[in-house]
């Protein structure tokens, strides 16, 4: 904590010091030592100052990040909201769009799934876009390849069925497991498994990775809600508040 607060504490110390001795480089060793002792004594008597300084710095960092994120979303709007391949659900004609960058092996993504479902149930005017962003290892990549291959082979309805199933699937992911999953939905397992390693599937994953890099996204879930980047898990009630604010 203290190392983050150092710049703020230095500023505080300089403001508290007499004008003639505010320049630390002009002090004698004895004056400098006395000055440090005074600052230390003040902080020991008022430790809340450190917390205040850290909180202020974190607030300013968050505000700066939010401002920068607005620019990132605006600059990449076409790829975010209309890439031509990502699944679009909810109300496709909704007045609010929620985009989710997700990974099937991400615990917070799994926690977010029912929250997003609740948001859509409570608000029938939200368009949802799912971005396949596998970043947590080979199982994540296999899951995304299978889901994307399903979409390309069998369409959006089959995709969302598989997507939902993969979000709840535990254990090792093998071709046998994926084949059973496809068979369970009456899909052509051979065609989907063959498609998984195709250039078309690879291209979708690469495009989403490139977009995530432009948006400085390094974790999941990450949401884009209209013009705003939301980095991390959010419960439905918080998303509802943001949606209400977007609608004015």
Distances (CA, A) of 206 to 14, 32, 80, 97, 113: 51, 57, 14, 23, 24
pLDDT value at residue 69: 86
Residue written as token pair 């939200």:
126
pLDDT value at residue 24: 65
Q: How many CB atoms lie within 10 A of CB 165?
A: 15
189-217 residues labelled b (16+ CB within 10 A) or e (exposed): beebbebbeeeebeebbebbbebbeebeb
- Strand 96-102 to 222-225 pairing: antiparallel
Superfamily of domain 77-247: Glutaredoxin (3.40.30.10)
pLDDT value at residue 45: 81
Beta-carbon contacts of residue 83 (< 8 Å; ≥ 6 apart): 207, 208, 211
199: phi then psi, degrees, rounded to nearest 5 = -65, -35
Residue written as token pair 């926690």:
111
Cα–Cα distance measured from residue 248 to residue 246, given in angstroms and rounded to the nearest whole number: 5
* Bond into 221 cis (ω within 30): yes
Between helix 138-154 and helix 199-214 the angle, nearest 10°, is 120
- Domain residue limits, the chain: 2-66, 77-247
Distances (CA, A) of 245 to 2, 12, 60, 72, 225: 36, 37, 22, 20, 11
Contact (CB, 8 A) for 166 and 104: yes
Q: Which string of DSSP letters, residue by residue, matches 99-116?
A: EEEE-TT-HHHHHHHHHH
Q: Give pLDDT tens digits along the chain (248 positions).
A: 334 344 444 545 444 444 444 566 778 888 888 888 888 888 788 878 778 878 878 788 777 777 778 999 999 999 999 999 999 999 999 999 999 999 999 999 999 999 999 999 999 999 999 999 999 999 999 999 999 999 999 999 999 999 999 999 998 899 999 999 999 999 999 999 999 999 999 999 999 999 999 999 999 999 999 999 999 999 999 999 999 999 98
Give the global pTM.
0.76
């Amino acid at each position: 904590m203290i190392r983050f607060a150092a710049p703020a504490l230095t500023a505080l110390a300089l403001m508290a010091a007499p004008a003639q001795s505010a320049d630390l480089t002009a002090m004698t060793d004895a004056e400098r030592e006395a000055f440090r002792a005074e600052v230390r004594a003040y902080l020991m008597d008022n430790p809340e100052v450190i917390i205040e300084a850290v909180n202020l710095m974190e607030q300013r960092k968050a505000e700066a990040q939010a401002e920068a994120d607005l620019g990132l979303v605006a600059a990449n709007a076409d790829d975010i909201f209309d890439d031509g391949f990502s699944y679009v659900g909810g109300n496709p004609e909704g007045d609010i769009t929620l985009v989710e960058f997700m990974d099937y092996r991400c615990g917070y993504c799994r926690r977010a799934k029912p929250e997003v479902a609740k948001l859509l149930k409570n608000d029938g005017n939200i368009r949802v876009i799912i971005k396949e962003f596998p970043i947590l290892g080979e199982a994540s990549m296999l899951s995304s390849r299978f889901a994307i291959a399903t979409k390309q082979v069998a369409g959006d309805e089959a995709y969302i069925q598989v997507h939902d199933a993969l979000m709840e699937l535990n254990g090792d992911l093998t071709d046998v497991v994926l084949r059973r999953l496809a068979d369970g939905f009456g899909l052509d397992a051979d065609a989907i498994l063959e498609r998984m390693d195709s250039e078309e599937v690879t291209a979708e994953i690469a495009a989403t990775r490139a977009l995530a890099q432009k948006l400085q996204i390094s974790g999941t879930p990450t949401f884009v809600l209209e013009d705003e980047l939301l980095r991390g898990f959010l419960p439905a009630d918080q998303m509802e508040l943001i949606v209400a604010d977007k609608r004015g």
